[in-house]
Structure 1
């Protein structure tokens, strides 16, 4: 509506321009969001997303609702989010640490960690890690991991085998041998597929994320965060999702140093819930 402060801010658009001699000009609305971030915080990017009105981890009441919605979708109990990493291509940085941005498929990228809601929105995003960084390392060093370690959240995350199995983050069996483990894997794969679908919608909506971002890494992070904010905003406004295009992300090797305690917890969980 006309009374919406955000719409008033965007009213400056006619005075701005996205015309540039380069390809992939930044849309005017994205320029406005990036400027708002800098004016509000004095920085262009942070670890845990932007504009908390649009990207925030669910509170206790919302977590209870998410458990119902995730279970209705994939038959996996207790889930409050699905987590994964995805690579956004960037040009080779001109800094001494440039090779640290080269990922496992031999191209340069930012490794972005995202957690999805049942509605395919971001509930958490970490954007500043280099392409060579393993997904599990990103999570272990995130504020979200600390929150789960402190038992701030009542629920579990689902992640692929690139993450370490925890009592609050469940990974699939690499070699299931029992009926319970097979059913566990089936429910896990279907439910966790939502985060891959969210990434697909996000990248299809903002094609700059599929092409090589030709900025310094810090500015690439700015663009990535701004598109995630806009993705959530458009989802909340009920905008239809674009067709999902095939992605080409580096394969993440399995996490191989899981502690016995975490694996035993998964075994007990599978026996209890997937008989």
Structure 2
């Protein structure tokens, strides 16, 4: 149900009060003069309300005191709790974006300082629930709660998204060979781990909400990532509706459609049973498999799951640091709001990779487009839509099994 504006609430209140007043006097008001007076008063009040373009608003104090006297004087733990990064990490991100054209346009003199804009966006990315309310954030940072926060967010997002080619990219042939060499004793020729997740929407989308309703009985947008053994995100796809199966999302990605660009020789990705078995996607043996003996299949699946769970750790890092990914609070009403949700996820992935470069952060928060259409759950019983056996994929899985346990 659409939310009522303050103006609608006031009008409803006036009408209800007027109706009650009329009911109270109608029996004793024989000539109707009192009723006419009440209606005239209602008419005058409605005219006043309708003539007001906006309700009464109080400007948020634009004071730098909190930022200069409190935030900058927080100890390391409190600073990290507020902005989800350390002071050193904050400065690193700031240095990367401070000279971006978004902050150096002709009207840039009207902008608030870049470091404050970055702090606001990091706070938004790291907040969920009531803590992510716009009025609370505006009050905390001393900025306007109208369009100001939206403008700041889009501006910082644009600057971070321009870093994508530097921090979120598929490994080239040389780097893939290095990954194979580093992880050969784990799973030979595996270069990454793939899985999907859902970005929960706080409200039902306006357009075609049914398609966004997922098997988890929530409204959501699908996202898929590939990470390497260092938990660095190497590929992102986000934007499909929540009702899409993980296998369908994968089949629509360039990883599936343009395999020759992403894989060399015997290289492959590890995915759970929600994905279709193929030469470049190796999944566990199903319970009804007829190849090998049961102990061999179990041993393979245990080894496969032991290392594929890294992508779940990656999601854990991402969502515990950037808690806003647990529930997206902006309502999807058009293409622009949909793109904002996609950009939100990709920005978090880019920041994740920037922070992963600092070895001191590699164990933090572990609680255990490519195309613009940008859990370890062992797929919770959700099986791949691909029911046709893939002979080449099966042959490759058997070869990998031989290399693992030779």
TM-score, structure 2 normalization: 0.57
Structure 2 distance, partners of 1:263, 1:120, is 27
Distance change in 2, residues 1:221/1:15 (3 Å)? closer
Structure 2 distance, partners of 1:147, 1:225, is 21
CA contact (8 A) 1:147 1:153 kept: no
More displaced 10-residue stretch of structure 1: 208-217 or 239-248: 239-248
Q: Does 1:162 align with 2:274?
A: yes
Measured after TM superposition, the shift of residue 263 of structure 1 is 2.7
Backbone CA RMSD of aligned residues: 3.3
Give the SS at the match of 1:53: helix
Q: Does 1:110 align with 2:241?
A: no
Distance change in 2, residues 1:6/1:237 (3 Å)? farther
Measured after TM superposition, the shift of residue 260 of structure 1 is 3.9
Q: Does 1:58 align with 2:171?
A: yes
Distance change in 2, residues 1:143/1:21 (3 Å)? same
Matches for 1:82-101 after TM superposition, within 5 Å: 82-90=193-201, 91-95=203-207, 97-101=208-212
CA contact (8 A) 1:181 1:274 kept: no
Distance change in 2, residues 1:14/1:264 (3 Å)? closer
Q: Does 1:232 align with 2:323?
A: no
Equivalent in the alignment of 1:34: 157
Structure 2 distance, partners of 1:150, 1:273, is 26
Measured after TM superposition, the shift of residue 232 of structure 1 is 0.7
Q: Does 1:192 align with 2:308?
A: yes
TM-score, structure 1 normalization: 0.81
CA contact (8 A) 2:328 2:341 kept: no
Equivalent in the alignment of 1:47: none
Q: Describe the superposition over 1:18-53 as per-residue Cα deviations: whole angstroms up to 9, x where unpaired.
A: 493167997999644423378x6xxxxxxxxx7111
Structure 1 distance, partners of 2:351, 2:274, is 28
Equivalent in the alignment of 2:364: 242
Distance change in 2, residues 1:174/1:108 (3 Å)? same
CA contact (8 A) 1:180 1:271 kept: no
In the alignment of these two chains, the number of paired residues is 262
Matches for 1:145-160 after TM superposition, within 5 Å: 145-148=256-259, 152-154=263-265, 155-160=267-272
More displaced 10-residue stretch of structure 1: 143-152 or 132-141: 143-152
Measured after TM superposition, the shift of residue 266 of structure 1 is 2.1
Structure with more of its chain in helix, by fraction: 2
**2:394 maps to which of 257, 263, 270:** 263
Give the SS at the match of 2:224: strand
CA contact (8 A) 1:30 1:226 kept: no
Equivalent in the alignment of 1:253: 382
Structure 1 distance, partners of 2:299, 2:217, is 36
**1:142 maps to which of 229, 253, 278:** 253
Structure 2 distance, partners of 1:234, 1:28, is 25
Structure 1 distance, partners of 2:315, 2:248, is 20
Measured after TM superposition, the shift of residue 222 of structure 1 is 1.4
> Which structure exhibits the higher relative contact order, with contacts defined as CA atoms closer than 8 Å and separated by 6 or more residues?
1
